[in-house]
């Protein structure tokens, strides 16, 4: 399984003026293999979405590079780059309400990519749109309706159809299910799973629902305050977390099982994720870590492989 896309020390800072910078994504290296689903988890403010957007070029890179099929992508995209890459990479957004243009019909929204990138006749575009509406579980006559006529779950399907109609190779799904009800979440997840099978999709699946990420992903990556702290097979990371932050995150995830919940000791940690403007030196998790050592405050741990395991962890305790 070759790598489809690779981030090498990808960095994205936001300038606040006055020498202050938000360290949203700081030297994150991650490669995603073909037909692989990598789940990216972390608290809000950990830089998950910024990483996804920088990977696609929706944010300029402050530093580092992105390599797609062996080709290094530009630091800053020009319109021609978007034109070229849009057919290869797409994004599905979190909020199905604000990510669809309310003045366009569903047919226009889904077909826009085809019209812009391929010289197809209007009837061909229409045929493909109908085809995709059916693939995502909607009906052909929904084409002429507007987004406000649909429920959240249906809009999310419209967003999926819009992203996938160009048959991209790589898709970033930024919290695609968190705005949806439980029964509808399962519909969207199963749909993505089916499309992965039939189209050979590669996905970066950003979410905060840990159970869902474990269910969906081949590998799971954990981010904290702009850096990657753990990466490994989804089941292994979930059931046997090595980094203290992963442990806390998974320990806080309530399971739909009263006996399990009542038997569980409280694992909640004090404090909240610090501001990404003044990033602490040393390990960024040190001030909240229940297992903190002296060395953690001075020296930043590298993301390195765990001995005899297919796992990367950035923690002094593990190395």
Q: Which position among 8, 196, 208, 233 is part of the footprint of another protein (CB under 8 A)?
A: 208
300 binds another protein (CB under 8 A): no
Query: 151: helix, coil or strand?
Result: coil
State the burial class of residue 280 (Cβ atoms within 10 Å of its Cβ: 0-12, 13-18, 19+): middle
Tokens in use for 96? 């199905």
Q: Which stretch binds another protein (CB under 8 A): 28-36, 66-74, 209-217, 301-309?
A: 209-217
| CA–centroid distance for 36 within its chain | 13
224-253 residues in contact with another protein (CB under 8 A) are 238-239, 248-249, 251-253
Helix 152-164, helix 106-117: angle, nearest 10: 10
Over its C-alpha atoms, the chain yields an Rg (Å, rounded) of 21
Nearer to another protein, 67 or 269 (CB): 269
Q: How far is the CB of 214 from another protein (least distance, A)?
A: 7
254 binds another protein (CB under 8 A): yes
30 binds another protein (CB under 8 A): no
β strands within the chain, DSSP E: 3-17, 20-33, 37-41, 63-68, 71-72, 89-92, 170-174, 202-206, 219-224, 227-233, 304-305, 311-313
Residues near another protein (CB under 8 A), total: 41
**Cα dihedral sign, 119-120-125-126:** positive
167-186 residues in contact with another protein (CB under 8 A) are 181-186
255 binds another protein (CB under 8 A): yes
d(CA 279, CA 21): 10
Q: Which stretch binds another protein (CB under 8 A): 140-148, 196-204, 211-219, 297-305?
A: 211-219
195 binds another protein (CB under 8 A): no
258 binds another protein (CB under 8 A): yes
217 binds another protein (CB under 8 A): no
Instruction: Say which DSSP state 149 is in.
Output: G
Contact 129, 158 (CB under 8 A): no
Nearer to another protein, 67 or 273 (CB): 273
43 binds another protein (CB under 8 A): yes
Footprint of another protein (CB under 8 A):
43-44, 151, 153, 181-187, 189-190, 208, 210-212, 214-215, 238-239, 248-249, 251-261, 266-270, 272-273
């Amino acid at each position: 399984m070759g790598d489809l896309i690779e981030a090498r020390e990808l960095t994205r800072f936001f300038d606040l003026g006055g020498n202050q910078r938000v360290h949203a994504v700081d030297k994150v290296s991650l490669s995603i293999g073909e037909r692989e689903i990598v789940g990216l988890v972390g608290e809000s403010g950990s830089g998950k979405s910024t990483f996804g957007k920088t990977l696609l070029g929706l944010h300029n890179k402050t530093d580092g590079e992105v390599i797609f099929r062996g080709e290094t992508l530009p630091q800053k995209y020009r319109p021609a780059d978007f034109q070229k890459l849009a057919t290869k990479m797409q994004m599905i957004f979190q909020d199905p309400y604000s990510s669809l243009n309310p003045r366009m019909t569903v047919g226009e929204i889904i077909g826009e990519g085809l019209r812009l990138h391929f010289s197809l006749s209007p009837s061909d575009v229409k045929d493909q749109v109908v085809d995709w509406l059916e693939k995502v579980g909607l009906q052909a006559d929904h084409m002429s309706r507007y987004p406000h006529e649909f429920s959240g779950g249906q809009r999310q399907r419209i967003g999926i159809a819009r992203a996938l109609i160009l048959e991209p190779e790589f898709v970033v799904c930024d919290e695609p299910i968190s705005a949806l009800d439980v029964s509808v979440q399962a519909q969207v997840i199963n749909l993505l799973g089916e499309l992965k099978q039939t189209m050979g999709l590669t996905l970066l699946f950003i979410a905060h629902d840990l159970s869902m990420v474990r269910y969906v992903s081949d590998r799971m990556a954990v981010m904290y305050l702009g850096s990657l702290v753990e990466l490994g097979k989804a089941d292994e990371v979930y059931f046997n977390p090595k980094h203290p932050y992963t442990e806390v995150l998974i320990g806080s995830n309530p399971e739909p099982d009263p006996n399990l919940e009542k038997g569980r000791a409280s694992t909640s940690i004090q404090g909240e994720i610090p501001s990404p403007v003044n990033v602490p030196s040393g390990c960024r998790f040190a001030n909240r870590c229940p297992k903190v050592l002296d060395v953690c405050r001075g020296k930043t741990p590298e993301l390195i492989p765990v001995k005899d395991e297919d796992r990367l962890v950035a923690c002094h305790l593990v190395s």
